[in-house]
């Protein structure tokens, strides 16, 4: 079988075939994802997976994949995976020459900040984030004028320019620990309003927030969670802190994407729903066959721009290289490195 995929934006049409060799090489991967990828689809994914894994070896490249990537990426070609904090930690530690970031642009930019000498690639430049788009460096400068002396904590879901204006970054996994690490009474916490509210509820530090929202998580409602509880008695509800407060109030556990996975691992509930992007449950269900996952589906359109054909194009053509202005990079790197010193703190 010959596979021809048009990416729609250029003439990248690799000549790939589902040969017996490809079938054999990818069989162990298919055994893992059999429950979530229909057998009929495997001949489409397998030639890409085989070629990408071959190229990674040739180029000393790794694929870092966020938990929201689709299962054929997450289980098929990712060398390392995790939440935003784990991806930053792994990017800081790798000795690969090339890093392909299967995630969104701010994640690739963070990897580049931590690896200025390495080639960092993002398979699609349009893979953005509504939170990163909600605030600019000029906004932070104005806020600093209004709140002189108040430190600025920014979520990693921001541009390098915004990070460069910040004192320290955080992720959903360590936001409370980062805020408390500063030893002050008040911080500006930007740009996610709902994460800021969640932090405020879990610390004595006064939090001044911004009005940024994640376009995926802001769509969940408390009423939806109550409906899940009615339809699926005994269900355990895990929610990402980018969700609105009425959702978090209804949840049994609030944590980062990896925090949710660890929670399932530690508590092994009979039935669970993860109130977050929908590929997460597909990926996680593979490792917990005894747990029933109820799977609402809110897709992140930015994460979904990353596909196997685009990852292959990225490695074949060394595109798209992520670059950060060196002056901005110095200050942005400092904010990310300060966050890495805090690590996960006590939160998950
Ligand atoms: P995590 O850091 O929890 O993986 O979240 C990243 C993200 O973009 C969630 O929408
Ligand atoms: Fe950004 Fe939300 Fe997509 Fe995460 S899920 S990358 S916060 S838009």
Over residues 99-123, the pLDDT tens digits come to: 999 999 999 999 999 999 999 999 9
| pLDDT for the residue 245 | 98
Task: Tell me the CA–centroid distance for residue 175 and ligand 1, in Å.
Answer: 12
Task: Tell me the CA–centroid distance for residue 335 and ligand 2, in Å.
Answer: 21
Residue of 67, 78, 83, 101 best suited for mutating to test ligand 1, as the one with most atoms within 8 Å of CB = 83
| pLDDT for the residue 102 | 98
214 lines ligand 2 (CB under 6 A): yes
Pick out the chain residues at pLDDT < 50: 347-348
**169 with 92: CB under 8 angstroms?**
no
**237 with 228: CB under 8 angstroms?**
yes
Neighbours of 246 (CB within 10 A): 14
Neighbours of 25 (CB within 10 A): 16
pTM of the model: 0.95
**207 with 225: CB under 8 angstroms?**
no
| pLDDT for the residue 347 | 44
Q: What is the pLDDT of residues 118-154, one digit of tens each?
A: 999 999 999 999 999 999 999 999 999 999 999 999 9
| pLDDT for the residue 12 | 73
| pLDDT for the residue 162 | 98
Report all structural domains of the chain as residue ranges with CATH numbers, in order of start: 2-128+302-317 (3.40.50.10800), 217-294 (3.40.50.10800)
The dihedral built from the CA positions of residue 139, 254, 292 and 231, taken in this order, carries a sign that is negative
Task: Tell me the CA–centroid distance for residue 14 and ligand 1, in Å.
Answer: 32
Task: Tell me the CA–centroid distance for residue 200 and ligand 1, in Å.
Answer: 19
| pLDDT for the residue 46 | 98
Task: Tell me the CA–centroid distance for residue 214 and ligand 2, in Å.
Answer: 5
| pLDDT for the residue 111 | 97
Q: What is the pLDDT of residues 50-77, one digit of tens each?
A: 999 999 999 999 999 999 999 999 999 9
216 lines ligand 2 (CB under 6 A): yes
In the chain, % helix, strand, coil (3-state, to 5) comes to 45, 15, 40
**Half-sphere exposure of residue 346, counting CA atoms within 13 Å on the CB side?**
6
**78 with 69: CB under 8 angstroms?**
yes
Structure tokens at 7: 């990416």
**175 with 201: CB under 8 angstroms?**
no
Q: Give the residue, by CA position, lying nearest to ligand 1 atom 4.
A: 83
| pLDDT for the residue 296 | 87
Task: Tell me the CA–centroid distance for residue 229 and ligand 2, in Å.
Answer: 26
Q: Give the residue, by CA position, lying nearest to ligand 1 atom 3.
A: 256
Residue of 68, 176, 340 best suited for mutating to test ligand 1, as the one with most atoms within 8 Å of CB = 68
Q: Give the residue, by CA position, lying nearest to ligand 2 atom 6.
A: 129
């Amino acid at each position: 079988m010959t596979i021809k995929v048009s990416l729609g934006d250029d003439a990248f049409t690799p000549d790939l075939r589902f040969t017996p060799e490809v079938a054999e090489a990818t069989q162990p991967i298919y055994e893992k994802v059999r429950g979530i990828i229909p057998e009929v689809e495997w001949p489409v994914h397998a030639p890409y997976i085989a070629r990408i894994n071959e190229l990674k070896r040739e180029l000393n490249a790794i694929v870092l994949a966020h938990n929201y990537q689709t299962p054929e990426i997450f289980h098929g070609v990712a060398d390392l995976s995790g939440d935003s904090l784990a991806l930053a930690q792994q990017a800081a530690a790798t000795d690969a020459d090339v890093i392909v970031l299967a995630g969104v642009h701010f994640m690739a930019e963070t990897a580049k900040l931590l690896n200025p000498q390495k080639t960092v690639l993002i398979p699609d430049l349009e893979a953005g984030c509504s939170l990163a788009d909600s605030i600019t460096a000029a906004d932070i400068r104005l806020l600093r004028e209004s709140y002189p002396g108040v430190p600025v904590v920014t979520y990693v879901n921001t541009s390098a320019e915004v990070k460069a204006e910040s004192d320290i970054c955080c992720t959903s996994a360590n936001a409370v620990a980062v805020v408390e690490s500063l030893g002050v009474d008040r911080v500006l916490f930007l740009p996610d309003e709902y994460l800021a509210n969640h932090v405020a509820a879990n610390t004595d530090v006064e939090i001044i927030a911004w009005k940024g929202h994640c376009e995926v998580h802001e769509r969940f409602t408390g009423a939806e969670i109550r409906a899940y509880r009615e339809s699926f008695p005994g269900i355990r509800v895990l929610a990402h802190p980018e969700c609105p407060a009425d959702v978090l109030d209804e949840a049994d556990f609030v944590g980062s994407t990896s925090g949710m996975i660890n929670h399932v691992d530690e508590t092994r509930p009979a039935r669970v729903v993860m109130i977050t992007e929908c590929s997460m449950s597909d990926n996680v269900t593979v490792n917990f066959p005894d747990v029933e996952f109820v799977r609402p589906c809110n897709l992140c359109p930015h994460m979904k721009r990353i596909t196997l054909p685009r990852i292959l194009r990225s490695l074949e053509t060394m595109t798209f290289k992520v670059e950060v202005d060196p002056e901005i990079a110095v200050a942005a790197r400092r904010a990310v490195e300060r966050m890495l010193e805090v690590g996960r703190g006590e939160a998950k």
